[in-house]
Chain A
């Protein structure tokens, strides 16, 4: 008798069989921390069964912190041959977040953190270039840990339920569900692709973004898992107005909340935050691209309904939009280059509207034509 697969087994099935479609001969990098060991074992077996060559890169708890705390500039700016070879050589990369303490880097000097971020920029560029060229299939996911549960104000059991529900892994055939959603996201993306401007009205928000000629990308669980968004890269000089982000946002282990930004001609001209304003300003000053919106996106996953303090999930909440400061994804036509990519989420589920070329297309968290 065949046993019913566990949610963890289904997650591994989907990541290997659907998200990254591992094939014979693929070099598959698994990038994670020791807390994700149970998922690593499941993935390892499936990659082997698919004929791939699994390769593990496991973080050592405390080592990144030690580097950020004690490293010289030369050490902070250095990229290991392992990292470099992985990014250049892998056919598939499955990155699994599995923090055991999401605040371990809170006490690190932001200047040093920024230096380390900048050093990784070339790696990121190679990663995105290879992904765009179809040479690398890469997915980011999360393995539920106590630390992530704590950020979400949940018990680990509750958080596991949340995570697996968000991935549709409590359904019989999650891959088929994601494929069906993907088709709907594609239709939406095609419609949005015909528009020139998007204007978002909400609580403390009136923001206009030029999107003419840009591509909208449907996200169906192949690069993020779970997934559920349609995004683009706004025209770099055509973002104007104010936006107030509903949820706190974490970046590199630091948290800011109550963020308000004012854009003029595509650039942030005013920024404030109720909490973490210094860090926000430091990140905005990271490089030229950090003051620009590299991404604008609709969150479409109705299985994610609550804020849990983690971007992977928060930006997918059905009925939200998010805007990322910093780098755009080249496949969207966006041209912002930056070491930063910081997603900030705005809840539009009540008293809000989105206009496309002057026409209401979205109200209180849903598209008005019922497409999604």
Chain B
């Protein structure tokens, strides 16, 4: 029997995240393990009158390519892939690994060559997404591998994932529309702040955000979602921060990261474990020592760290500050090959001040954003 939560998630993706309309071409990307959600989404898309098709991979094939492929094969992009991109109106990526560590032993330089080649395709995809020519949403189908990464049983992990997407109840779209309203209002309110000061254990950091646009992540690009974010001024970050959760990049963990910023740049960095990796990533390029993102995690259904950035960056009561590339749509100007989200738990002792005023304490904003102000703000 089909899990009704899978059906609801599929409906939510089709109707709310992508707002699929008649005649729109949708490609559904997944691994074989995600098939139940692929099928449910395929059905939801058909019912919306869209033209869905599936692009499903088998676990292990990528690994074989990375292990045995020649350089030409590793960096090959087929004409099929290029032609498809231009014709998509919508794309869904369903992460559904059967082994999250399958690539752990692959030669990093070969892996990097593969990723660099694939980036040409994803750049073109992002170009079309930011031009409004296509929509994209990334989501996850719970597998034992992801559950194992989160140190849960599959049943527990399913409950966690589906609650985070709010598909454990009827009418998740109504929930997300309400969430979206709240996040938009919060983003608008933060838009008037010049500086945020983040205070917590071993953390006292000032981040300049004047003139930058705060954006609401409300379930259109990710499901689950729930954050407001911007790209801070590149030269104004000052002070220290200690990241309580392990920082994960390309499957490798760095534990207990501490950073000191001066004039926007990291001038000192250390980690209890994985320090070499941390230092090598900071030296990747000129932009890797500069913050590209500051964000509030506001999905309170996500209440624990599960080693998956799709969820971790949205944990209600956390902030994440990413090193590396910024978001042009937020006014960010930093460019880098790196975008490394690191998460700071502020649920116990954290405080955030906006232009000197305490706005957040112990993982919550102190006041609801004033929605009426937002609306008059739009017209005034």
A-side interface residues toward B, CB under 8 Å? 25, 27, 34, 37, 40-41, 44-45, 48-49, 51, 53-63, 66-67, 70-72, 74-75, 78, 80-86, 89-90
B32:A63 contact, CB within 8 angstroms: no
Residue of B32, B46, B69 touching A75 (CB-CB under 8 A): B46
Are B54 and A81 touching (Cβ within 8 A)?
no
- Check B73 against A58 for contact (C-beta < 8 Å): no
Q: How far is the CA of A358 from the CA of B53 in the complex (A)?
A: 54
Closest chain B CB from A60 CB (angstroms): 5
Cβ–Cβ < 8 Å partners of B23 in chain A: 74
Task: Tell me the complex Cα distance, A59–B84, Å.
Answer: 17
Among B34-42, B150-158, B295-303, the stretch that binds chain A is: B34-42
A90 CB contacts on chain B under 8 angstroms: 80
**Distance A45 CA – B61 CA, assembled complex (angstroms):** 9
- Assess whether B65 is in contact with A48, with CB atoms less than 8 Å apart: yes
Check A81 against B49 for contact (C-beta < 8 Å).
no
Given contacts A41-B58, A53-B76, A53-B78, 8 further A-B contacts (CB under 8 A): A27-B78, A55-B78, A55-B80, A56-B57, A62-B39, A75-B46, A80-B27, A89-B79
- The 8 closest A-B CB pairs, nearest first, are A80-B53, A85-B80, A81-B87, A58-B56, A85-B83, A89-B79, A60-B54, A81-B84
**How far is it, in angstroms, between the C-alpha of A41 and the C-alpha of B54 when the chains are bound?**
20
- Known contacts A27-B79, A55-B78; A85/B46 CB under 8 A: no
Is the Cβ of A85 less than 8 Å from the Cβ of B84?
yes
Considering the complex, give the chain B residue whose CB is closest to the CB of A41: B60
Q: Across the interface, which residues of A come within 8 angstroms of B76, CB to CB? A: 53
The reply to whether B38 and A81 contact each other, CB–CB distance below 8 Å, is no
> How far is B25's CA from A78's CA once the two chains are assembled, in angstroms?
10
Q: For the complex, give the distance between the alpha carbons of A45 and B65 in Å.
A: 8
Residue of A nearest to B55 (CB): A82
Chain A residues whose C-beta falls within 8 Å of the C-beta of B179 in the assembled complex: none
Most B-side CB within 10 Å, residue of A41, A45, A60 = A60
- Residue from the set A41, A78, A81 with the largest chain B CB neighbour count within 10 Å: A81
Q: Indicate which residue in B47, B58, B72 contacts A40 across the interface (CB closer than 8 Å).
A: B58
Question: A51 vs B49: C-alpha distance in the bound complex, in angstroms?
Answer: 41
B130 within 8 A of A: no
Can you list 11 A-B contacts (CB < 8 A)?
A44-B65, A45-B68, A48-B65, A56-B58, A59-B54, A60-B39, A72-B46, A72-B49, A78-B51, A82-B84, A83-B53
B338-368: which residues lie under 8 A (CB-CB) from chain A? Answer: none
Pick from A27, A40, A48, A56: contact of B69, CB under 8 Å:
A48
* Cα–Cα distance between A66 and B42 once the two chains are bound (Å): 8
Q: Which residues on A sit within 8 Å (CB–CB) of B38?
A: 60, 63
- Contacting residues, chain A, for B87 (C-beta < 8 A): 81
A325 to B46, CA, bound (A): 33
Candidate in A57, A70, A71, A80 with the most chain B CB atoms within 10 angstroms = A80
Contact of A37 among B32, B49, B64, B88 (CB under 8 A): B32
Q: With A41-B64, A72-B49 in contact, is A53–B73 under 8 Å at CB? A: yes
Q: Which residue on A lies nearest to B50, using beta carbons?
A: A75
* A67 and B46 within 8 A (CB): yes
In the complex, whether B43 has a CB less than 8 A from a CB of chain A is yes
| Complex CA–CA separation, A40 to B72 (angstroms) | 21
- Residues of chain B within 8 A (CB-CB) of A45 are 64, 68
Q: Which residues of B contact A89 (CB under 8 A)?
A: 78-80, 83
B70 interfacial contact with A, CB 8 Å = yes
- Residues in A with CB closer than 8 Å to B47 are 70
Q: Across the interface, do B39 and A63 meet the contact criterion of CB distance under 8 Å? A: yes
Residues of the A chain whose Cβ atoms lie less than 8 Å from the Cβ of B80: 27, 55, 82, 85-86, 89-90
Give complex CA distance A81, B58 in Å: 21
Name the distance in Å between A107's Cβ and chain B's nearest Cβ: 17
Q: Answer whether A40 and B61 are a contact pair too, CB < 8 Å, given A53-B73, A53-B78, A81-B83.
A: yes
Cα distance A55–B27 in the bound complex, in angstroms: 16
Residue of A nearest to B23 (CB): A74
* A48-B68 contact given A41-B61, A60-B42, A70-B46, CB 8 Å threshold: yes
In the assembled complex, how far is the CB of residue B13 from the closest CB belonging to chain A, in whole angstroms? 16
Q: A66 with B39: in contact, given A53-B78, A89-B80 (CB under 8 Å)?
A: yes
Complex formed: what's the CA distance from A228 to B290 in Å? 67
Measured CA separation A75–B46 after assembly (Å):
8
Q: In the bound complex, how far is the Cα of B79 from the Cα of A45, in angstroms?
A: 21
Distance between A79 CB and nearest chain B CB, rounded to angstroms: 9
Assembled-state Cα–Cα distance A53/B75 (Å): 10
- Alpha-carbon distance A61/B38, docked complex (angstroms): 10
Chain A nearest CB: distance from B70 CB in Å? 7
In the assembled complex, which residues on chain A have CB atoms less than 8 Å from the CB atom of B83? 81, 84-85, 89
Q: How far is the CA of A238 from the CA of B49 in the complex (A)?
A: 46
- Which residues of chain A come closer than 8 Å to B72, judged between CB atoms? 25, 51
Task: Evaluate whether A75 and B42 lie within 8 angstroms (CB atoms) in the complex, with A55-B80, A58-B58, A61-B35 already known.
Answer: no
- Are the C-beta atoms of A44 and B46 separated by less than 8 Å? no
CA distance A354 to B194 in the complex (A): 93
Q: A61 to B84, alpha carbons, bound, how many Å?
A: 23
- Say yes or no: A63 contacts B42, CB within 8 Å: yes
Q: Give A80 Cβ to nearest chain B Cβ, in Å.
A: 4
Bound-complex Cα distance A41 to B49 (A): 35
* B71-102 to A contact mask, C-beta < 8 Å, 1/0: 01100101110011001100000000000000
For window 297-318 of B, CB contacts with A under 8 Å fall at: none
B4 to chain A, nearest CB (A): 17
In the bound complex, how far is the Cα of B230 from the Cα of A57, in angstroms? 39
Complex Cα distance A100/B55, Å?
19
Q: How far is the CA of A86 from the CA of B72 in the complex (A)?
A: 20
Our pick among B46, B54, B73, B88 for the contact of A48 (Cβ within 8 Å) is B73
Residues in B with CB closer than 8 Å to A25 are: 72
Interchain CB contact (< 8 A) of B61 among A44, A53, A67 = A44
Q: Which residue in chain B gives the minimum CB-CB distance to A25?
A: B72
Residue of B nearest to A80 (CB): B53
Contacts of A83 in B (CB 8 A): 53
Within 8 Å CB of A81, what residues of B? 25, 53, 83-84, 87-88
Q: Known: A48-B64, A70-B47. Is A82-B58 also a contact (CB below 8 A)?
A: no
**Closest Cβ neighbor of B22 among chain A residues:** A74
Chain B residues with CB under 8 A of A37: 32, 58
**What's the least CB distance linking B2 to chain A, in Å?**
10
- List of A residues within 8 angstroms of B65 by Cβ: 44, 48, 54
In the bound assembly, the distance between CA atoms of A338 and B188 in angstroms comes to 61
Residues of chain B with a CB closer than 8 A to A34's CB: 32, 35, 56, 58
Structural contact, B68 and A49, CB atoms closer than 8 A: yes
A245 to B314, CA, bound (A): 65
A52 → chain B closest CB, angstroms = 8
CA distance A78 to B38 in the complex (A): 19
B49 CB, nearest partner CB in chain A, Å: 7
